[in-house]
Structures are given as structure tokens and as C-alpha cells.
């Protein structure tokens, strides 16, 4: 299944307009992300800044990497947790009609039906913009029919599922892609693992950073557990790059899913494996440097120039500061050398995926 999923992951056939593959935005050179502040969807070509310059649709959030996705206990997906299996019952945009009881498989269903991400916003597709499960099903059926017609994709999937080609559906495709993500981006052995379990070496600076991470800096208050994430939602007043999920330079985060005012400006804690490879940072990709991203957690005013902001932007920033003020990192002071020590510690969480991926068509 993972091998069949790799072929699907790399093929633009998963995009209704044949323009985007999973591998278009999840690249090895950027730590399974894309190296851009905001993702670029349909109509975009190339990698990195070349992709941004190529034009195309802008997706108003930063591309998340795949490390550990779908592993044991990793059941909350996307910046706003719009697929959430943490309670044992999956909550998602399918609203009770989830295509699977595997939250990763459910998550894989969403990008191919996201307008601008893998479906062009054109008059031709206007009937698909109803944001209903029924309109999504039409896209899934069309993609499944296309894959069934391509022996290079259908035959390996049929063999893996033990189903005849004519019986393959989109759920089979999503399960294969999920199997590939689980295998290729599974948590690997890092230098921190070797230090903890085998007594491997770390430099004095890396050890100093680790003591800060688990101590004074309060990083582990949110970045804890086997994925260095509590899988919960927190408010850090990062700058808002781009127009934002809610438009006009605003992104309400978790509130967009729950409609609970207590969730305004909160985003799921990102895991930290390979974080040194996945710049730029935050939900909006507003910060290019890892040290600045760490600084923004504890001293957000240090990275802002209020004179460059409109009155509306400042008002929105004050609201985000209110949410941040109750976080465990609020009120922490870190000197420049301590920021560098934390960067050194985070570098001990690097490792490589099992095999590289790239667009194949």
C-alpha cells in the first residue's frame, strides 16, 4: 500500500485540473514542506521562490510538514485541527459522514477538494463550490475514475488492495497515500534519541539548549510528548503574512472550526522534528529565521514594527496579545545566547525521510 501511495503522492492526477500533486508542496529540500510563507496551489509551478513567482493561487496558511503524521497518538491534523480524532470520535468537515475511521485517511481526503489548493476556482467547477459532502464526492468519483484509467497508478493499487481495478475508489487511494506518509515520514532516530537512550554525545551548547527547553524557556509546556507537541491549541501572536484564512490579514485559527470565542487566534502546536529544515515558521509563514520564531513566542513586540501596521492590524494584534497573555510562555525572558542554545538543541531533532519524493508528471 505504501508503494502504491508513493506513486499517487507524486502524481498530478490527484488534482482535478492536473496541476498539483501532493509532492508539489511537500518536498525533501524543505523538510517535507515547501519553503514558502503561504502555500501555492493550482496554477503554480516549480519549487521554492520559483513557485511563488510563477503565479497561481495562494493558500492562506503555511504548508505543514509530514513528520510523524498518523503515528500512534497523532490524531489531530491541520493548523486548526479541522480533522480531530483525539476523542476517539473523528470530528471533521464531513460532519458525521467521514469516509474512514482513520483520521489520517480522512485528512488525505481534504486537499483534493480544496478550492485553489488542488481544484481551480473556475466557472467550469462552479457546481462543486457548495462545500457539501455531495460536491466533494463528485470530485472523489472523478479522480477515482481517472486513476482507474491509468495502469501505472491503478495496477499497483489494485494489487495492494486485492481488488479489481474497476472496483477501486477514492478511499483506496487515500488509504494508500496515508500508508506512504506513515512509512516515509515515520519518526526516525535523531541525535537526541541517541543521547537519551544510548548515551550518545551532545555539545555543551545543545545540552544548555535542552535544559532551557525543559526549564526556564517553558517550551515543553506545549512542545511535549513523543512528537514534541501536546496536540492542543495555543495563541502565539506571530505576524500575519498574506491575506489570512479570514481575509483582510486576519486568521482566527481554531475558532474557524469550533466557533468558540475562547479558541480565537489559537493554532495546534506544531511538532518539532526537523523544524530546522521547515522555514518559514508559524501558521502564516511570517518568520524566516528559527531564532526569530523562538523570540516571537516570548517577546512578540521584538519582531514587530507598529509603524508599518495599519490601525486595523494593530487592533487585531492587541487581541492576539490578550490570548497569548494566558500562555505559559508569557512573561519569559530569553537572552540572545539562550535563543542560540535553543536553536542548537532543536537541531538535534533532525533526520531524513526514507526516500525522496518528487512530481512525476
Structure confidence by residue, pLDDT tens digits, 252-286: 999 999 999 999 999 999 999 999 999 999 999 99
Classified as helix, coil or strand, 76 is strand
**Contact assessment for residue 26 and residue 34, using Cβ atoms and an 8 Å cutoff:** yes
Percentage of residues of the chain with pLDDT beyond 90: 87
Alpha-helical regions (H) of 78-219: 103-109, 133-148, 151-161, 170-184, 191-198, 204-213
Task: Please indicate, yes or no, if residue 108 is contained in any of the structural domains.
Answer: yes
Show which of 184, 219, 252 is a domain's final residue. 184
User: What does the block give as the cell for 125?
Assistant: 467547477
Show which of 153, 184, 215 is a domain's final residue. 184
**Contact assessment for residue 34 and residue 25, using Cβ atoms and an 8 Å cutoff:** yes
**Whole-angstrom distance, CA of residue 111 vs CA of residue 93:** 12
Q: Which residues of 81-101 are buried (b: 16+ CB within 10 A; e: fewer)?
A: bbbbbeeeebbbbbeeebbbe
- 21 and 132 housed in the same domain: yes
- 144 and 199 housed in the same domain: no
Task: Please indicate, yes or no, if residue 354 is contained in any of the structural domains.
Answer: no
* pTM (two decimals): 0.95
Q: How many domains is the chain partitioned into structurally?
A: 2
Chain center to CA of 274: 13
Question: Tell me, what's the pLDDT at 127?
Answer: 77
Question: Tell me, what's the pLDDT at 125?
Answer: 81
138: domain CATH number is 1.10.760.10
Chain center to CA of 81: 10
- 161 and 275 housed in the same domain: no
- Of 165, 160, 132, the closest CA to residue 146 belongs to 165
Task: Please indicate, yes or no, if residue 352 is contained in any of the structural domains.
Answer: no
Give the pLDDT band of residue 304 (cuts 50, 70, 90): confident
pLDDT at 129 over 80: no
Planar angle of CA 166, 171, 174, nearest 5 degrees: 115
Structural domain for 231, as ranges: 191-347
Alpha-helical regions (H) of 26-65: 48-53
Give the pLDDT band of residue 241 (cuts 50, 70, 90): confident
Amino acid at each position: 500500500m505504501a508503494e502504491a501511495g508513493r506513486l499517487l503522492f507524486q502524481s498530478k492526477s490527484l488534482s482535478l485540473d492536473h496541476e498539483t500533486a501532493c509532492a508539489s508542496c511537500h518536498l525533501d529540500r524543505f523538510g517535507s514542506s515547501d519553503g514558502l510563507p503561504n502555500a501555492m496551489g493550482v496554477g503554480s509551478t516549480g519549487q521554492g521562490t520559483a513557485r511563488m513567482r510563477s503565479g497561481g493561487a495562494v493558500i492562506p496558511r503555511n504548508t505543514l510538514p509530514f513528520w510523524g503524521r498518523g503515528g500512534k497518538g497523532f490524531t489531530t491534523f491541520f493548523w486548526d485541527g479541522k480533522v480531530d480524532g483525539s476523542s476517539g470520535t473523528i470530528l471533521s468537515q464531513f460532519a458525521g459522514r467521514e469516509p474512514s475511521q482513520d483520521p489520517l485517511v480522512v485528512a488525505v481526503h481534504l486537499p483534493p477538494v480544496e478550492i485553489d489548493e488542488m481544484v481551480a476556482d473556475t466557472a467550469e467547477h462552479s457546481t462543486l463550490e457548495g462545500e457539501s459532502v455531495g460536491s466533494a464526492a463528485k470530485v472523489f468519483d472523478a479522480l477515482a475514475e481517472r486513476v482507474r484509467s491509468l495502469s501505472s497508478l491503478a495496477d499497483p493499487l489494485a494489487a495492494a488492495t486485492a481488488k479489481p481495478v474497476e472496483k477501486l475508489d477514492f478511499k483506496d487511494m487515500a488509504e494508500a497515500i496515508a500508508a506512504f506518509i506513515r512509512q516515509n515520514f515515520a519518526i526516525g532516530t535523531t541525535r537526541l534519541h541517541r543521547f537519551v537512550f544510548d548515551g550518545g554525545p551532545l555539545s555543551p551548547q545543545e545540552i544548555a539548549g535542552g535544559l532551557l527547553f525543559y526549564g526556564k524557556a517553558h517550551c515543553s509546556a506545549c512542545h511535549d510528548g513523543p512528537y514534541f507537541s501536546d496536540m492542543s491549541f495555543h495563541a502565539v501572536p506571530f505576524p500575519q503574512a498574506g491575506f489570512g484564512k479570514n481575509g483582510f490579514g486576519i486568521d482566527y485559527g481554531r475558532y474557524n472550526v469550533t466557533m468558540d470565542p475562547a479558541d480565537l487566534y489559537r493554532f495546534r502546536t506544531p511538532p518539532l522534528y526537523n523544524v530546522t529544515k521547515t522555514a518559514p515558521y508559524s501558521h502564516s509563514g511570517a518568520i524566516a529565521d528559527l531564532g526569530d520564531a523562538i523570540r516571537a513566542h516570548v517577546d512578540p513586540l521584538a519582531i514587530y514594527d507598529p509603524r508599518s501596521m495599519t490601525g486595523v492590524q494593530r487592533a487585531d494584534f492587541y487581541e492576539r496579545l490578550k490570548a497569548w497573555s494566558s500562555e505559559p510562555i508569557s512573561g519569559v525572558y530569553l537572552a540572545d545566547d539562550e535563543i542560540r542554545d535553543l536553536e542548537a538543541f532543536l537541531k538535534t531533532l533532525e533526520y531524513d525521510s526514507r526516500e525522496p519524493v518528487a512530481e512525476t508528471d
